Structure 1
Amino acid sequence: MFHYNQKYESVPTTPAGTPHTWSPTSTRSKISTWSLTRRRIALFACGVLVFFFLYSLHSSYAGHPPHRQDYLTNPVTYNATFTPHAAFQPPESLPHRYSDTIDTFSSYKYRNTCNISSLDLHAPFAPLCPDRESMVTAMSSGGRIGNDAPYMPRGCDMRWFSTEEICEILARFEKVIIVGDSMMRHVIGSINVMIRKDLGYGAVTDWNFSPEERKDCFCNYQFNVKACSIQGIFKTADVVKNDPDSVACPARSIDVMIEQMIRFPIAPEELDRLRSLLPATKPSRPYAFIFGHGLWNDLDLQATLDWLDTILDTMLSQAPWLSPSSSVSSSGSPISHKRKRDKGFWPRLFLTPNAPGKDKPDEWIITQGNKAIMIFEESVGIEVRRRGLEHLGTWNATVQSNKFDGV
Structure 2
Amino acid sequence: MVILYYLLSRKKSRIPTSDIWAREPTNTLRQYKHYGRECNVSSLDIHLPAGSVCSDKNSMLTAMSSGGRAGKDAPYTPRGCNMQWFSSWEACDILGRYSQVILVGDSMLRHIIGALNIVIREDVGYGAVTNWNFDEEEKRKCFCNKQFDVRDCSVQGIFSTADVIEHDPVSLTCTRWMPEWDTDLRIEQIVRYPIPEEEHRRLEKAIDPNPLQRKAFVLGHGLWNNLEIDQSLSWLDLVLDTIESKTRASTRQRGPNSKGNVPVLLVTPNAAGDKKPDEWIVSQGNKALVKFEHEMAVEAAKREIDHLGTWNMSIQATLYDGVHMDMRGNLLKAQMVLNWLNLLDR
Smaller-chain TM-score bracket: 0.7 to 0.9
The equivalent residue for 1:206 is 131
Please list the CA deviations of residues 338-380 of structure 1 after superposition, one character each: whole Å capped at 9, or x if unmatched: 3477426411000000101111111100001000000000000
The equivalent residue for 1:36 is none
Match of 1:323 among 234, 241, 250: 250
Shift of 1:200: 0.6
Match of 1:279 among 198, 204, 208: 208
Match of 2:186 among 254, 257, 269: 257
Pick closer, same or farther for the CA change 1:394–1:341 going to 2, 3 Å: farther
Q: Does 1:236 align with 2:152?
A: no
Pick closer, same or farther for the CA change 1:274–1:404 going to 2, 3 Å: same
Query: Relative CO higher for 1 or 2, CA cutoff 8 Å, sep ≥ 6?
Result: 2
Instruction: Give the aligned length.
Output: 310
The equivalent residue for 1:101 is 25
Q: Return the alpha-carbon distance in structure 1 between the equivalents of residues 29 and 15 of structure 2.
A: 24
Q: Return the alpha-carbon distance in structure 2 between the equivalents of residues 100 and 214 of structure 1.
A: 35
The question of whether the paired residues in 2 share the 8 Å contact of 1:287 and 1:345 is answered with no
The equivalent residue for 1:309 is 237
Shift of 1:279: 3.3
Pick closer, same or farther for the CA change 1:362–1:309 going to 2, 3 Å: same
Shift of 1:212: 1.0
Q: Return the alpha-carbon distance in structure 2 between the equivalents of residues 67 and 397 of structure 1.
A: 24
2:307 alignment partner, SS class: strand
Q: Return the alpha-carbon distance in structure 1 between the equivalents of residues 260 and 68 of structure 2.
A: 28
The equivalent residue for 2:290 is 374
Q: Does 1:142 align with 2:67?
A: yes
Match of 2:170 among 245, 253, 257: 245
The question of whether the paired residues in 1 share the 8 Å contact of 2:250 and 2:261 is answered with no
Q: Return the alpha-carbon distance in structure 2 between the equivalents of residues 180 and 384 of structure 1.
A: 16
1:65-214 alignment, distance < 5 Å: 65-66=13-14, 95-97=19-21, 101-112=25-36, 113-214=38-139
The question of whether the paired residues in 1 share the 8 Å contact of 2:253 and 2:261 is answered with no
Shift of 1:175: 0.2
Report sequence identity in percent: 49
Alignment root-mean-square deviation, CA: 2.1
TM-score by length of 2: 0.85
Q: Does 1:400 align with 2:316?
A: yes
Q: Return the alpha-carbon distance in structure 2 between the equivalents of residues 262 and 314 of structure 1.
A: 16
Please list the CA deviations of residues 172-214 of structure 1 after superposition, one character each: whole Å capped at 9, or x if unmatched: 0010000000110110010001100101100000001111111
Shift of 1:238: 0.6
Gaps of 5+ in 1: 1-58, 69-91, 325-335
Q: Which amino acid aligns with 1:362?
A: D
Pick closer, same or farther for the CA change 1:255–1:198 going to 2, 3 Å: same
Q: Return the alpha-carbon distance in structure 2 between the equivalents of residues 406 and 100 of structure 1.
A: 35
Shift of 1:240: 0.9
Match of 2:301 among 385, 398, 401: 385
Shift of 1:99: 6.6
Shift of 1:384: 1.1
Q: Which amino acid aligns with 2:195?
A: I
2:282 alignment partner, SS class: helix
Q: Return the alpha-carbon distance in structure 1 between the equivalents of residues 51 and 253 of structure 2.
A: 33
Pick closer, same or farther for the CA change 1:379–1:341 going to 2, 3 Å: farther
1:207 alignment partner, SS class: helix
- Larger mean CA deviation between 245-254 and 258-267 belongs to 245-254
Please list the CA deviations of residues 289-339 of structure 1 after superposition, one character each: whole Å capped at 9, or x if unmatched: 00001011110011100001111112222332x137xxxxxxxxxxx8634
Q: Which amino acid aligns with 1:189?
A: G
Shift of 1:145: 1.1
The question of whether the paired residues in 2 share the 8 Å contact of 1:341 and 1:347 is answered with no
The question of whether the paired residues in 2 share the 8 Å contact of 1:167 and 1:254 is answered with no
Shift of 1:222: 1.1
Shift of 1:401: 1.3
